[in-house]
Amino acid sequence: MRNLLTSITLLIAVVYPALGWSDEPIRIAFVNIPQILEQAPQADAVRETLNQEFAARDIDLAAGDKKQQLLKQRLEREGATMDEEERRRVERDLLSQEREMKRSHEEYNEDRNIRKNEELAKMQREIRLSIVTLAKELGYDMVLESGVMYASERVDITNLVIGRLKQGFGNNNTEKK
C-alpha cells in the first residue's frame, strides 16, 4: 500500500507540472491514409511499374492458358474418334499442362505480391515522411491516422499531404528526365 501511494505521488509530481507548462492548446490533425494511397501519384506509378515489370510474364501465362484451352477443346472434339493410345497421351499432356499452369500462376501471384509489398513499403515511408514534415511545418503536436470516428475539415490535412506528395512526385520526375 505504501508503494502504491509513493508511486501515485511521484506520478502526480512528474505529470502535474508538465500539464501546466504551456497555455497554448494542443494542435491535432487527422490524415486519411486510404484516401492518400488512392489519390497519391506515387500509387499510380507503383501500379504502372508493376504492370511493366510483369508484362512479359502476363503474356507468357496468357499463351500457356490458350495452349491448354486448345488442347482441352481438341480432346473434347476428337477424343471419341482418337485411338486409345493417342487419347491417353493427349489426356496426360493436358494434365501436365494444367499442373504446370497452376504452378506458374501461383508463382506469378507470389512474385507479384512480394514486389507489390516492397513498393508499397517504399511508398508508405514516403507518405509518413511527408505527413511528419508537413505536421512540423504547420505546428501540429499530434497527427492521427486511424481509429477516428469523425474529423472536421479544420483538422483534416489529408489534401495537404496529397498536394505535398504530388509536388514531390513532380519534382522527382523532372529530376529523372
Alpha helices in 40-157 (DSSP H): 41-53, 55-78, 84-138
Cβ contact 147:34 at 8 Å: no
Q: How far apart are alpha carbons 173 and 177 in whole angstroms? A: 6
Q: Which run of H or of E encompasses 19?
A: helix 2-19
Q: What is the pLDDT of residue 150?
A: 87
Q: How far apart are alpha carbons 76 and 146 in whole angstroms? A: 55
Q: What is the pLDDT of residue 57?
A: 95
Q: How far apart are alpha carbons 17 and 165 in whole angstroms? A: 39
Q: What is the pLDDT of residue 146?
A: 82
Q: What is the pLDDT of residue 39?
A: 92
CA angle, corner 31, sides to 135 and 129, nearest 5? 50
Q: What is the pLDDT of residue 21?
A: 54
Q: What is the pLDDT of residue 13?
A: 44
Mean pLDDT by 10 residues, the chain (177 residues): 50 50 80 92 92 96 94 87 89 94 97 96 93 94 88 91 88 57
For 20-176, which CATH class?
Answer: alpha beta
Q: What is the pLDDT of residue 5?
A: 45
Q: What is the pLDDT of residue 79?
A: 80
